[in-house]
Amino acid sequence: MFRSRMWPFLLLVINLKGADPRQLALQRGVDLGTAVDAQHLSESQYAAVLASQYSQVEPENEMKWRIIHPAPGVYSFAAGDAIVNFAVQHGMKVRGHTLTGDTQLPAWLSDPGLTPSGLQTILEEHITTVVKHYAGRVYAWDVLNEAYADDGTLLPGIWLNTPGIGVPGTGYMELALRWAHAADPAARLFYNDEDDTGLGITPKTDAIYRMAQDFLSRGVPLHGIGMQMHVTAGGVSIPGLVANIKRLTDLGLEVQITEMDVRLPVANLAGASAAELDSQAQVYHDVASACLQFPKCTAIQTWGFTDRYSWIPTAFPGFGDALPLDINYQPKPAWNSIADALASPSTASPANYYRISSGQFLNMGSRSTGAIAPGEMLYFAAPSGPGALVQGSPAAGKYPNSLAGMQVTFDGVPAPLIAAQNGFVIAVAPYEIAAHSSAAVQFDYLGNSSNPISLPVEPAVPGLFTATSTGAGAGLIFDRNFALVSASNPARAGDLIFLSITGEGVSQPAGVTGLSQPYRIFTPLEPLSVTIGGVPAAVAVVWSGPAGLPGMSQIGVYVPPGIPAGNAPVSVRLGGASTQAAVTVALR
C-alpha cells in the first residue's frame, strides 16, 4: 500500500522533467542557460518562460562584488539567493559570476590606503565567503573574468598591479582558483572571457590557452573556459571558434558558451529587418552546432533571453534585438535556429550524442547537485534511453541493475535502477563506493557507453523528499498511519512522524546495494540529529520504510512541544551535512 502511495510522488518528478523543452538540450548533453536578473523573477511570464525553457541560470549582476560585497566586511546575498532559490525550485543549475574581474568593483576597493597584502587578504576572504555561501548550489564559477587584452598581455588591474595582491603575472589567478577550490571542492572553476570575433584563434585566446596549459600542468584547479560570445551578426569565425574549442577540450577542459548575444544595428527595440533576423539566427545556429560537436562543450547560454531585458541597447547604443525571444517573449528566427541545431543529428556523432556532464544530476530529495553519498538516490539527465517510462521492480528481493537496456555503474559497480526514460535515469549509488573519495559514473544504453564523469563522494549528502518533488515546501512526511502530513492532516506535539530522506550514507548494520528490505532498522554511521521549528526532535527509529525502496529511508521522530501551529521548518543533520533549507511540516 505504501508503495502505491509512493509512486505518484516519484512520477510527479518524472513528468515535470519530461515536459520541459529544455530536455532537448539535456538529451544532447548540454545545458541551455541564460543570464537572469533577480528583479524580473516576480514577473509571471518571465518566470514561466525561464523555468520551462532553460536548464541553467547565471545571475547577470547579483553575484558581482559591487552588489554582493558592497562595503568592507558587508555581504549582501539576498539578490543572488533569490536566483539560486528559483533555480533550485525549478531543478535548474546555477553558474556563479564573477569572483574576480575588474569591472563593477565597489569603490571601497580603490582605497589608496590598501596595500597588496591587505588586498590579498580581502580577495581570499571574499572568494572563500561567497563560494562557501553557495557551495552545493552553484555548480560552476567564473573565478576569473576578462583578464587578458586583445594582444594577449594581462590587463592592468587592482588584482594584478594597481596595486596588485603582491604576486606577479598569472599568480593572482592561480591563487583565486586555489581559494575557490578550497571553499567548494565540487565546484567547476572557469576562466571566462570575450572577444568580438567569437573567440577563434587570436593572440588573446593563444594567451588563455597557454595559461590553461600551464595551470593544468601544475595541478592548479582550472576546469573550464567560458566563452562570452557577445558578437555581431557578421563577426564570428566559426572555423576559428571550432579550432579553439578543440584545442581547449583536448587539454581536458570543459568549454561553455556563457554570455551569447548577437546584436543587430537597430534603434532601441525598434525591430530589425527579416534579413537581419535571419543572419542573426544563422550565428546562433552555428555557434550552438560548434559547441555540440564537442562532448566537453557543456553549455549554451545566452545573456538574457528576451529583448525586453538586455544590456545591449545601453552598452552598445544603436544596437539591440540581440536575444532569441522578442520583447513579447515570442520566438524569433534565432530561437528556432537554436532548436534546430539541438534537434539536428547532423552534428551528432554517436560519441558526442552519448555524453553526460558532471552537473547533470540531482539528489532525488533535495533536487540539488554537488557531491554524492553511498546509498543516495540520484536523478541523472541521461543522454538516451527507452521511449516510455520503465520502472524497476525487485526480482528475488533486489532492484535491477539493467532497465530496458540502460545500465549505470559507479567505479564499475552496477547501480540499482529505480526508473528510466529517454532523458533521465534514477539510480542509487552503490554502498561499495563508501571508501572512495570520488566515483567514476558511466552510463550504458543498448551497448553504447557514455564518457565517465567523476563525482566527489562524501559520507552523507542528505536530502529530504518533498510532497511536490521540487526539493522545497512541504516534506514527504507521513503520520503513524502512513497518511501524508499536510495542511489538512497536520501533526501535533508528541506525534511520531516519518521523514522521507536519501543520502544518509552507510549504516550499522550495513545496507546491501539494491536490496529491497522493508522496515530494515539501522543506525547511520554519521551522527544524526533532527530539528523541527528549530527545536531538537527525538529520533525514534531510522528504517528503510514500508516500501523498502533502495535509496529512500525514513526517520521516525517525535514532534517536540511548544512549536507554533503552521508550517515549521524541518532539518536533518548527518555528520557535517544538513538537508536543504525550505522543507516544512504542517503542525496544528
**Residues designated catalytic:** 146, 259
CB of 193 to ligand XIL, least distance (A): 8
Looking at residue 144, what DSSP letter applies?
Answer: E
- In the bound complex, what is the minimum distance in angstroms from residue 68's beta carbon to ligand XIL? 13
By C-beta, is 66 or 178 nearer to ligand XIL? 66
In angstroms, give the least distance from the CB of 231 to ligand XIL.
Answer: 12
Which of 62, 254, 259, 458 touches ligand XIL (CB under 6 A)? 259
Question: Which residues 6+ apart lie within 8 Å of 40 measured at CB?
Answer: 46, 47, 309
Sketch the per residue contact string, 371 through 410, with ligand XIL: x for CB under 6 A, - otherwise. Answer: ----------------------------------------
The answer to whether residue 261 forms part of the interface with ligand XIL (CB under 6 A) is no
Q: In the chain, what is the straight-line distance between the N-terminal and C-terminal CA atoms, in Å?
A: 27
Residue placing its CB nearer to ligand XIL in the complex, 61 or 344: 61
Task: Give Cβ neighbours of residue 188 (< 8 Å, ≥ 6 apart).
Answer: 139, 140, 141, 223, 224, 254, 358, 359
Q: How many residues bind ligand XIL (CB under 6 A)?
A: 8
Segments of 339-416 assigned E as strands? 361-363, 377-381, 390-391, 406-410, 413-414
Q: Dihedral of CA 89/91/97/99: which sign?
A: positive
Which residues, numbered 409-448, are part of the site for ligand XIL (CB under 6 A)?
none
Q: How far apart are CA 183 and CA 128, in angstroms?
A: 5
CB 189 within 8 A of CB 222: yes
- Pairing between β-strand 438-445 and β-strand 453-456 as defined by DSSP bridges: antiparallel
C-alpha cell recorded at residue 436: 572512495
- The residue written with cell numbers 540581440 in the block is 322
- Residue number with CB closer to ligand XIL (79 or 559): 79
Residues 282-301, one symbol each (x = binds ligand XIL by CB under 6 A, - = not), give --------------------
What is the closest distance, in whole angstroms, from the C-beta atom of residue 120 to ligand XIL in the complex? 23
Nearer to ligand XIL, 145 or 384 (CB): 145
β 566-574/583-587 pair status: antiparallel
The binder of ligand XIL chosen from 228, 384, 500, 507 (CB under 6 A)? 228
Answer yes or no whether residue 65 interacts with ligand XIL by CB under 6 A: no
Q: In sequence order, what DSSP letters do the residues of 187-206 get, joined into one string?
A: SEEEEEE--TT-S-S-HHHH
Strands 528-532 and 566-574, by their bridges, are antiparallel
The answer for residues whose C-beta is within 8 angstroms of residue 477's C-beta and 6 or more apart is 484, 485, 491, 497, 498, 499, 500, 570, 585
Shortest Cβ 263–ligand XIL spacing (Å): 12
Question: For ligand XIL, what does the binding mask look like between residues 70 and 109, x meaning CB under 6 A?
Answer: ----------------------------------------
Footprint on residues 130-189 left by ligand XIL (CB under 6 A): 145
Shortest gap between Cβ of 63 and ligand XIL (angstroms)? 10
Contact between 254 and ligand XIL by CB under 6 A: the answer reads no
Phi-psi region of 534 (alpha: psi -120 to 50; beta: other; left: phi over 0): left
Say whether residue 61 binds ligand XIL (CB under 6 A): yes
Residue 60 engages ligand XIL in binding (rule: CB under 6 A): yes
Q: Which is closer to ligand XIL, CB of 86 or CB of 303?
A: 303
CA distance 280 to 262: 6
**Cβ-closest position to ligand XIL:** 311
CB of 311 or CB of 410, closer to ligand XIL = 311
Q: Are 138 and 187 in contact (CB under 8 A)?
A: yes
> By C-beta, is 283 or 427 nearer to ligand XIL?
283
Least Å distance, CB 230 to ligand XIL, is 6
Q: Which residues bind ligand XIL (CB under 6 A)?
A: 60-61, 145, 194, 228, 230, 259, 311
